[in-house]
Amino acid sequence: MTTEQTANILSSFKEELGRVIDMQSAIALLQWDQEVYMPPKAAPARGQQLATLAGLAHRMFTGDTMGGMLHELKNWEDQLDDDSVALVNETLYDYEQATKLPESFVHKFAVEQSKAYEIWTHAREASDFKLFAPQLAVIVDLLQAKAQYIGYEDSPYDALLQEYERGMTANKLKVLFGELAPKQRDLLANIMNSGSQSIPAWLEQEWDTDVQWTFSLEVLRDIGYDFEAGRQDKSVHPFTTNFDLYDVRVTTRLNNKELFSGLTGTIHEGGHALYEQGFLPKDQRSTLAQGISLGIHESQSRMWENMIGRSLPFWNHYTSKIQRHYPGQLDGLAPEDMYRAINHVAPSFIRVEADECTYNLHIILRFEIEVALIEGKLSVDDIPEAWNDKMHAYLGVRVPNDRLGCLQDIHWSHGSMGYFPTYALGNIYAAQLFEKMLVDMPNLYNNIESGDFAPLLLWLRKHVHQVGRRQGAEELIKSLTNKALDIMPFMNYLENKYSQLYGI
């Protein structure tokens, strides 16, 4: 083929891909509306609209036109520049993944999934896992079948992981988590034995949610979120979504009993959003303007939320500001008081409320249960017992009921297994990146203390955000830090921070 012919195919391919991405963006906008503004009676119609559009988008993407162009371009990739090669390879990967599942399977999965969600909602209300078990068994069977369609080498769980964290395997995670779990458990035991982890009395006041809202917007603007290319709204579960790199939206959830949960939610979602606002304009409307993996995405949100937003330098900057927002309520408190309060550690039943010292333990137990289920070594009926035993072994707590135990998360009812580990990977990646940032920018904490987040964001833009999907997760970490995936930066970060906080 001549260079000119290849260039023509490339341009038709980009146009077709752009149309698929337009469809996906329209779907995402309808989903955003569903979570944020849609009146309740509109739910069934919205479900229809989403199903219709999702079907159309899937057909457009997996059709022969797209497949033909992708294979042609792959054959002639010598004639393409580096960006186009990356674009073709990444899109071909997505195409192959999307075409592995027969349409009949996708349809059956969607039907069983929406049943599962309904049943899970009721079971959780009744706090009775037995109501959910039969339908969850159907989902597990389907996930095992899905793993066969996708293919794997060692564990069928590997096939499911690929959807969220490409290149990751159950074996790699077993090694990583096997090292991490006892270290986190020891740290937690030391904190619990320190005798200094009571909640300060001043924290138990009412915190006006309008004030929380205003303060969260102020912080979001300070860290570099572009309000000309996004907005914040309220939703039941905080999330980030994008329809383009110039339209990246976040949501938060406010509670007048909690001073920090809305703020940390905003900073967390802000971290996700800065990533998506940071893709290269030349990658707009293409596969390259996407996060590498859910783990890398989560590394961005957790770095901003925890390593920055829960740091002492951050509170050296913001304590006087938040005091002005709540006259009479925070008088006389020092930055150290805020720092201590926002880093309170205690084992709890609920993952989404867990602190930095316990969070990964919640993830590891879910990972172990998921692998056992998918590998056929644990039956669905035995989940509550396995869950409660692991909660006791890892966190030292006795789960009183299923609602506070194995029914708390939405993920399984969505048919998502292999998703949870990406949260813990996010913490591990974040610590590796942050360690490197501190080497590259010795003044990093001074910058944070003076409210100057620009150097930090610039570093992330250059080394992570603008990469888009040009590198894989482990490849990115390796190329930036010269090290493979490693739990030690995360453990060092935790141990330094919490031994100082709790005097251990």
Q: Which residues are catalytic?
A: 269
Rounded to the nearest whole angstrom, what is the least distance from the CB of residue 298 to Zn ion in the complex? 5
Strand order in the sheet with 240-244: 232-234, 247-252, 240-244
Tokens for 183? 């270290």
Tokens for 228? 């000309």
355: how many CB neighbours lie within 10 A of its CB? 18
Tokens for 70? 């992708």
Rounded to the nearest whole angstrom, what is the least distance from the CB of residue 424 to Zn ion in the complex? 12
Helix (H, G, I), strand (E, B) or coil at 251: strand
- Pick the closer one to Zn ion by CB: 62 or 301: 301
- Pick the closer one to Zn ion by CB: 84 or 264: 264
Helix (H, G, I), strand (E, B) or coil at 252: strand
d(CA 132, CA 138) in angstroms, rounded, equals 10
State the residue number with the nearest CB to Zn ion. 301
Residues 122-141 that bind Zn ion (CB under 5 A): none
Which part of the chain contacts Zn ion (CB under 5 A), choosing from 204-212, 224-232, 297-305, 351-359?
297-305
Q: Which of 343, 295, 77, 329 is nearest to 215 (CA)?
A: 329
- Pick the closer one to Zn ion by CB: 301 or 360: 301
Rounded to the nearest whole angstrom, what is the least distance from the CB of residue 361 to Zn ion in the complex? 18
Rule CB under 5 A: say whether 162 interacts with Zn ion: no
- Pick the closer one to Zn ion by CB: 301 or 388: 301
Rounded to the nearest whole angstrom, what is the least distance from the CB of residue 28 to Zn ion in the complex? 16
Rule CB under 5 A: say whether 301 interacts with Zn ion: yes
Which part of the chain contacts Zn ion (CB under 5 A), choosing from 28-36, 161-169, 294-302, 448-456?
294-302
Which part of the chain contacts Zn ion (CB under 5 A), choosing from 3-11, 71-79, 301-309, 326-334?
301-309
Cα 383 to chain centroid, rounded: 24
Indicate the residue type of 130: K
- Pick the closer one to Zn ion by CB: 86 or 464: 464
Rule CB under 5 A: say whether 264 interacts with Zn ion: no
Span between the terminal Cα atoms of the chain, in Å: 69
Rounded to the nearest whole angstrom, what is the least distance from the CB of residue 291 to Zn ion in the complex? 11
d(CA 349, CA 353) in angstroms, rounded, equals 8
Rounded to the nearest whole angstrom, what is the least distance from the CB of residue 362 to Zn ion in the complex? 14
Confirm if 188 and 345 have CB atoms less than 8 A apart: yes
366 half-sphere exposure, CB direction, 13 A CA radius: 25
Quickly tell me which residue has 């316990």 as its tokens. Answer: 358
Which part of the chain contacts Zn ion (CB under 5 A), choosing from 300-308, 311-319, 337-345, 348-356?
300-308
Rounded to the nearest whole angstrom, what is the least distance from the CB of residue 465 to Zn ion in the complex? 16
219: how many CB neighbours lie within 10 A of its CB? 22
Cα angle 47, 50, 55 (rounded to 5 degrees) comes to 125
Total of chain residues touching Zn ion, rule CB under 5 A: 1
206 half-sphere exposure, CB direction, 13 A CA radius: 3
- Pick the closer one to Zn ion by CB: 168 or 501: 168
Confirm if 232 and 212 have CB atoms less than 8 A apart: no
Rounded to the nearest whole angstrom, what is the least distance from the CB of residue 432 to Zn ion in the complex? 18
Cα angle 367, 372, 374 (rounded to 5 degrees) comes to 95
SS3 letters for 354-374? CCCCCHHHHHHHHHHHHHHHH
Q: Is 235 exposed, middle or buried (0-12, 13-18, 19+ CB in 10 A)?
A: middle
- Pick the closer one to Zn ion by CB: 212 or 301: 301
- Pick the closer one to Zn ion by CB: 91 or 240: 240
DSSP state of 402: S
Rounded to the nearest whole angstrom, what is the least distance from the CB of residue 274 to Zn ion in the complex? 12
Rounded to the nearest whole angstrom, what is the least distance from the CB of residue 25 to Zn ion in the complex? 20
SS3 letters for 420-469? CHHHHHHHHHHHHHHHHHHHHCCCHHHHHHCCCCHHHHHHHHHHCHHHCC
Burial per residue of 400-418, b for 16 or more beta-carbon CB atoms within 10 angstroms, e otherwise? eebbebbbbbeebbebbbb
Q: Who's near 407: CB < 8 A, 6+ residues apart? A: 120, 123, 124, 127, 129, 132
- Pick the closer one to Zn ion by CB: 251 or 301: 301
- Pick the closer one to Zn ion by CB: 387 or 419: 419
Residues found near Zn ion in the complex (CB under 5 A): 301
